[in-house]
Amino acid sequence: MDDIQPPGRLVTLTDVARAAGLGESTVSRVLRNHGSYSKRAGERVAEAVARLGYVPNRLAGSLAGQGASARLVGVVIPSLANVVFPDLLRGLTAALDAEGIPCVIGVSDYDPDREEALAAALLSWRPAALLLTGLEHNPGTVALARAGGVRVVEMIDTDGAGIDAVVGFSNRAVGAASGRHLVARGYRRIGYLGHDLAVDLRAGKRLAGFEAALGEAGLALRAKEIRPGPSSPTSGRVGLEKLLARHPDLDAVYFSNDDMALGGYFACLAAGVAVPGRLALFGFNGLDFAAAMPQPLSTVRTPRLEIGRQAAACLTGDGPKTIDLGFELIEGATA
């Protein structure tokens, strides 16, 4: 037969139908294994598909199908530089790949306006669901999400009201638990070292919970160093050096996350500051390296992969719900 297609034109379902000597609907049924068809039809279609190299066009399929929503999910995350978000995606893609649903991603750079623009752009692909990060969004984003007629899942943070489904943990509670831990261990001259809070709202919530816990014990934060830019070990190292220069009397430092804490640990090693004897360090996230350190980092392990998985699981259900996956305080050896 003539396998030769006019170049530039891709093989369509109609081509397959013709090649298989069947109707389009039969081919469609066979390909989706939906409805009934004979064994003979199945074989002929398989043969024609293989011979012509047919790749279905889901653009057309989704457009024609029920509800016109695509087997895609839109995901807006604030960053790819912080391990948290790739981990989230990891849990998500692992769960979704099993169903053959890919993610369309947008990176907002922590900018609510970009988030709104990305949400609109992603919704224009008519995804089955829209996944956002955190609970704080522009009114426009919320309106879009509600009007989009799709399932909306907000990931990571449970401290507040969500649009639809919410999967995460309480950042405030993490901060509080961390604060109580330091207080219980007898630390009294406590400092905080973080990256930009106006940008990373969840770090701000942790800090609020942390300060509240100190307050319960009649304490207050002795010093606070906020570094511009994203979190990183380098930022943590530089930040801790500055913090110690200004407040040499600190006996513990709470970091906005493990990356910052690693930098802080390196600063201590370099300066010969005994950890935790002279200075205790406490992180957040429970990354792999925290456990590999000569003294395992005291930190809080967050269920990042599980958040992604549960978010994927939410897509099938409906109705608002909040899943709090909790967290685990790792005592470690640095605080």
Residues in touch with a copy of itself (CB under 8 A): 8, 10, 53, 55-60, 62-63, 68, 70, 72, 74, 80-81, 83, 85-87, 89-90, 93-94, 97, 100, 102-107, 114, 118, 120-126, 143-144, 147-149, 232-234, 236-237, 259, 262-263, 266, 269-270, 288-289, 291-294
Closer Cβ to DNA, 48 or 213, answer by number: 48
Cis previous bond, 276, omega within 30 = yes
Closer Cβ to a copy of itself, 208 or 289, answer by number: 289
**Interface region with DNA, contact rule CB under 7 A, candidates 4-12, 113-121, 133-141, 327-335:** 4-12
Report the nearest approach of DNA to the CB of residue 123 (Å).
11
CB atoms within 10 A of CB 221: 16
Over the chain, what HEC string results?
Answer: CCCCCCCCCCCCHHHHHHHHCCCHHHHHHHHHCCCCCCHHHHHHHHHHHHHHCCCCCHHHHHHHCHHHCCCCEEEEECCCCCCHHHHHHHHHHHHHHCCCCCEEEEECCCCHHHHHHHHHHHHCCCCCEEEEECCCCCHHHHHHHHHCCCEEEEEEECCCCCCCEEEEECHHHHHHHHHHHHHHCCCCCEEEEEECCCCCHHHHHHHHHHHHHHHHCCCCCCEEEEECCCCCHHHHHHHHHHHHHHCCCCCEEEECCHHHHHHHHHHHHHHCCCCCCCCEEECCECCHHHHHCCCCCEEEECCHHHHHHHHHHHCCCCCCEEEECCCEEECCCCC
User: Which of the residues 11 through 30 are near DNA (CB under 7 A)?
Assistant: 12-14, 21-26, 28-29
Sign of CA dihedral 171, 172, 175, 181: negative
Q: Please tell me whether residue 315 binds DNA under the rule CB under 7 A.
A: no
User: Which of the residues 21 through 80 are near DNA (CB under 7 A)?
Assistant: 21-26, 28-29, 31-32, 34-38, 40-41, 56-57, 60-61, 63-66, 68
31's contact among a copy of itself, DNA, none, with CB below 5 to 8 A by partner kind, is DNA
236's contact among DNA, a copy of itself, none, with CB below 5 to 8 A by partner kind, is a copy of itself
Q: Please tell me whether residue 5 binds DNA under the rule CB under 7 A.
A: no
321's contact among DNA, a copy of itself, none, with CB below 5 to 8 A by partner kind, is none
90's contact among DNA, a copy of itself, none, with CB below 5 to 8 A by partner kind, is a copy of itself
Report the nearest approach of DNA to the CB of residue 302 (Å).
39
Q: Please tell me whether residue 245 binds DNA under the rule CB under 7 A.
A: no
Closer Cβ to a copy of itself, 56 or 112, answer by number: 56
CB atoms within 10 A of CB 55: 10
Q: Please tell me whether residue 326 binds DNA under the rule CB under 7 A.
A: no
Q: Please tell me whether residue 324 binds DNA under the rule CB under 7 A.
A: no
Residues paired with residue 223 on neighbouring β-strands, in sequence order: 191
Closer Cβ to a copy of itself, 68 or 184, answer by number: 68
Report the nearest approach of a copy of itself to the CB of residue 179 (Å).
26
Which residues of this protein are in contact with DNA, per CB under 7 A? Answer: 9-10, 12-14, 21-26, 28-29, 31-32, 34-38, 40-41, 56-57, 60-61, 63-66, 68
